[in-house]
């Protein structure tokens, strides 16, 4: 498989704090890559830099061999990287469908004049998007697809997280970043959600996922490879067994009780 995303010498400083420190790493097509490390080790910062939210202090990010270091979040999203956020970004008063479409800017590009005067094509676009959102929800969880017109505020935690995942998936990304999907959920809910995401992703062997996760059991069950960060640097990488056998990882992050 070929390299989909890579970074070299990636450094992100916030004043005197170095959140990413000369990071070199690569994500291969078809990877389910676990990104782990202690609080503040730079995991979310990596997502923020790779999706164009922050411009790095130095270093480069390549996506499909194209330099995306200076591109805007919208450009990067259109190129095929979608993400979820560590803290929920749902509008609880809006419906499931509206929340999913908030993330789908690249397909709603008509502008107000078009929407005012071309009502028919706007409605056709609306129906088309509704169908896409419904089938995406259905692929993840059929019961949730039936609740597409309900406000998100009525949903439980796992359904809200499913909506966030659908919002990222509806753009048909080549690369999906999930930032701690287990936050606020039980072990069982996390396991169910990740099983659904993996079942969905297996339909496309090129589907590529980077998963930030503190729960090592989730990492063990879902990933084929892990990268461990510490102080913004890569501590080690490999499959779950080799990474967790590393004495530095045991000491720096995992503790000795694994």
Q: Which of 31, 36, 42, 177 binds ligand ATP (CB under 6 A)?
A: 42
- Which SS3 state, helix, strand or coil, does residue 242 take? helix
Count CB atoms within 10 A of the CB of residue 228: 25
Residue with tokens 């480069």: 60
What does the alpha-carbon distance between residue 35 and residue 167 come to, in Å, rounded to a whole number?
22
Q: Which does residue 95 touch among Mg ion, ligand ATP, none (CB within 5 to 8 A, set by kind)?
A: none
Question: Cβ 97 to ligand ATP, closest distance in Å?
Answer: 30
Q: Is 83 in the site for ligand ATP (CB under 6 A)?
A: no
Question: Which of 56, 64, 75 is closest to 8 using CA atoms?
Answer: 56
Residue 230 is a binding residue for Mg ion (CB under 5 A): no
Nearest-approach distance from CB 45 to ligand ATP, in angstroms: 3
Contact segment (CB under 6 A) with ligand ATP among 34-42, 117-125, 200-208, 237-245 equals 34-42
Which residues are registered as beta bridge partners of 229? 234
CA angle 127, 206, 225 (to 5 degrees): 125
Per-residue mark of binding to ligand ATP, 84-123 (x: CB under 6 A): --x-------------------------------------
Residue of 4, 5, 10, 19 interacting with ligand ATP (CB under 6 A): 19
Distance CA 198, CA 193 (A): 9
Residues that bind ligand ATP (CB under 6 A): 14, 17, 19, 37, 39-45, 86
């Amino acid at each position: 498989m070929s390299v989909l995303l890579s970074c070299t010498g990636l450094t992100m400083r916030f004043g005197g704090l170095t959140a990413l420190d000369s990071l070199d790493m690569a994500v291969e097509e078809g990877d389910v890559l676990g990104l782990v490390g202690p609080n503040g080790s730079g995991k979310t910062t990596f997502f923020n830099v790779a999706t164009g939210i922050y411009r790095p202090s130095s270093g480069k990010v390549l996506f499909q061999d194209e330099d995306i270091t200076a591109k805007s979040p919208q450009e990067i999203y259109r190129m095929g990287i979608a993400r979820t956020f560590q803290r929920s970004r749902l509008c609880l008063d809006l419906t499931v469908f509206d929340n999913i479409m908030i993330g789908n800017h690249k397909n709603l590009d008509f502008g107000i004049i078009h929407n005012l005067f071309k009502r028919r094509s706007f409605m056709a676009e609306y129906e088309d998007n509704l169908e896409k959102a419904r089938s995406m929800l259905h692929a993840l969880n059929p019961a949730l697809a039936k609740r597409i017109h309900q406000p998100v505020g009525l949903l439980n935690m796992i359904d809200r997280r499913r909506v966030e995942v659908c919002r990222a998936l509806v753009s048909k990304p080549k690369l999906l970043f999930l930032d701690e999907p287990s936050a606020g959920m039980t072990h069982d809910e996390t396991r169910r959600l990740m099983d659904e995401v993996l079942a969905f992703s297996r339909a496309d062997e090129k589907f590529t996922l980077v998963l930030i996760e503190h729960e090592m059991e989730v990492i063990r069950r879902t990933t084929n490879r892990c990268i461990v960060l510490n102080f913004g640097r890569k501590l080690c990488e490999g499959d779950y067994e080799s990474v967790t056998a590393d004495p530095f990882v045991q000491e720096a992050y995992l503790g000795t009780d694994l």
